[in-house]
Amino acid sequence: MIELPVDLPAELAPLSWLIGVWEGTGVIEYSAADHRFTGEFTHRVSFSHDGGGYLNYAANAWMSADDGEQSRQLVAESGFWRIARPATSADAGPALLPPREEAAALTVHDVEELRAASGGFPLEVSVAHSDGALELYLGEINGPRVDIATDAIVRGAGGKEYGAASRMYGLVDAHLLWAWDIAALGGELASHASARLAKV
């Protein structure tokens, strides 16, 4: 059973089903640079909130190890998920700049005004990877389904080639299912990983 918190800011209501810690396993399968990458991995994803109009996101993945072997970390990610809306003078930022006026809490009606014609809500997701890559995803959350695709990827000069990505998340039978497509190492945008996670 999924329990939804009741103390959230109104703009987090569409995201509330994500909140919690999810763990499970998944598979990798991607071909690029004359190599086929395959394997199984364990995955831990956390969505939390600290009172702001966004969710905190953190995830770790480890390559599954054979008996007697140590598992290898594949990636650690951290970031923020938020319903997209225009910034106002009541919002802080950029950087440490304070808001120019007092912010009124968004109401359910205000959030409904953000709903797209498709019935979902526009979504912005920023993710920083432990390998130095930074992703900005844009997309939509529509009920228990999330579809996002990169608007920008930034990586350091020494980073591996990584050109685009899309992710899909869905709540199915109380499990978080996700799929991640990437264009990397000269390969086309294609499925590269998927997982099934249970709330812990």
- Report the pLDDT value the prediction gives residue 68, as an integer from 0 to 100: 61
Beta strands in the chain (DSSP E): 20-32, 35-48, 55-63, 72-83, 121-129, 134-142, 145-154, 162-172, 175-184, 190-199
Q: Residue 131 pLDDT more than 70?
A: yes
Percent residues over pLDDT 90 in the chain: 80
Q: Residue 3 pLDDT more than 90?
A: no
Instruction: Name 116's Cβ contacts closer than 8 Å, sequence gap at least 6.
Output: 122, 140
Domains in the chain: how many in total? 1
- Report the pLDDT value the prediction gives residue 73, as an integer from 0 to 100: 92
CB 63 within 8 A of CB 39: yes
Q: Per-residue pLDDT tens for 28-70?
A: 999 998 999 999 999 999 999 998 899 999 999 999 877 666 6
- Report the pLDDT value the prediction gives residue 149, as an integer from 0 to 100: 98
- Cα separation, 60 vs 45, in Å, equals 7
Q: Per-residue pLDDT tens for 178-193?
A: 999 999 999 999 999 9
Confidence of residue 104 (pLDDT cuts 50, 70, 90): confident
One-letter amino acid identity for 152?
A
- List 75's β-bridge partners, or say none: 61
Within a domain: residue 21? yes
Using alpha carbons, list the distances in angstroms from residue 100 to 40, 82, 104: 50, 21, 13
Write out the two tokens for 6: 């009741």
Confidence of residue 21 (pLDDT cuts 50, 70, 90): very high
Q: Which domain holds residue 22?
A: 10-199
Within a domain: residue 5? no
Tell me, what DSSP letter sits at residue 100?
S
Within a domain: residue 31? yes
- Cα separation, 155 vs 99, in Å, equals 31
Q: Residue 1 pLDDT more than 70?
A: no
- Cα separation, 97 vs 154, in Å, equals 24
Within a domain: residue 182? yes
Within a domain: residue 195? yes
Q: Residue 147 pLDDT more than 90?
A: yes
Q: Tell me, what CATH number does 27's domain have?
A: 2.40.128.20
